């Protein structure tokens, strides 16, 4: 439990960057899929986000909206599991103390932002799950049915709104977090980034 080093553990670093990548991908898919019309032609292959990088092959033909919504839900369930592991790791492994060079205000902002980021890492996927469960479609994880849809319109609409609002709060916190990291790297030129670096 006690950790005296100034770096995060390898596990904490890997989970931090894995989840950060997942979060960016989830934002990209989330925004991309929001504009797809409900009706549309069915296909069994989709060029991911129309980037020309990877074509996803399916075993059946579905509309673009179904494909992207199912992908968003499947990745959402996966990232939620990773976040659960990360939180479990965090509560059992004390993070290294903040650098002593931080001013009192910086300490408050950094600690507060980290705690709120953890809160959003739970609240955003949790409201997403609730939105999926209360829809008429339910939840599937890469084709495996997790739960049939409950088709509860009032809860579905409330959780969808909460999911969207929380997403914007999450994004604002991430922007603040990255701005802080860049300030420490380029203005203060201290060792903050090294603490979370994959490389020694």
DSSP 52: S
Of the pair 46, 118, the CB lying nearest ligand HEM is at 118
What are the start-end ranges of the E strands in 10-136? 42-47, 55-63
Are the beta carbons of 89 and 15 closer than 8 angstroms?
yes
Rg (C-alpha) for the chain, rounded Å, is 19
Of the pair 65, 90, the CB lying nearest ligand HEM is at 90
Cα–Cα–Cα angle for 75, 79, 85, rounded to 5 degrees: 155
Selected from 23, 33, 71, 130, the binder of ligand HEM by CB under 6 A is 23
Position 7 contacts ligand HEM (CB under 6 A): no
Q: Which distant-in-sequence residues (6+ apart) come within 8 Å of 23 by Cβ?
A: 79, 170, 174
69: helix, strand or coil:
helix
Enumerate residues 65-124 that contact ligand HEM by CB under 6 A.
Answer: 90, 95, 98, 114, 117-118, 121
Of the pair 116, 150, the CB lying nearest ligand HEM is at 116
Binding mask 152-181 for ligand HEM (x = CB under 6 A): ----------------------x--xx--x
DSSP 190: -
Of the pair 51, 198, the CB lying nearest ligand HEM is at 198
Position 130 contacts ligand HEM (CB under 6 A): no
* Positions in the binding site for ligand HEM (CB under 6 A): 16, 19-20, 23, 90, 95, 98, 114, 117-118, 121, 174, 177-178, 181, 192-193, 195-196
């Amino acid at each position: 439990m006690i950790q005296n080093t100034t770096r995060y553990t390898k596990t904490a670093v890997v989970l931090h960057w894995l989840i950060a990548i997942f979060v960016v991908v989830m934002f990209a898919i989330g925004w991309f899929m929001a504009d797809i019309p409900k009706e549309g032609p069915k296909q069994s292959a989709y060029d991911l986000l129309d980037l020309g990088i990877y074509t996803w092959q399916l075993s059946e033909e579905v509309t673009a909206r179904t494909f992207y919504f199912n992908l968003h839900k499947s990745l959402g369930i996966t990232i939620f599991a990773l976040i659960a592991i990360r939180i479990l790791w965090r509560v059992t492994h004390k993070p290294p103390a903040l650098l002593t060079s931080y001013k009192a205000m910086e300490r408050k902002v950094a600690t507060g932002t980290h705690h709120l980021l953890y809160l959003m890492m739970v609240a955003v996927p949790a409201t997403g799950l609730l939105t999926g469960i209360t829809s008429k479609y339910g939840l599937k994880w890469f084709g495996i049915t997790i739960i049939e849809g409950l088709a509860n319109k009032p809860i579905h609409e409330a959780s969808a709104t909460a999911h969207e609002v929380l997403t914007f709060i999450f994004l604002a916190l991430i922007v603040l977090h990255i701005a802080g990291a860049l300030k420490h790297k380029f203005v203060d030129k201290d060792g903050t980034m090294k603490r979370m670096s994959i490389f020694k």
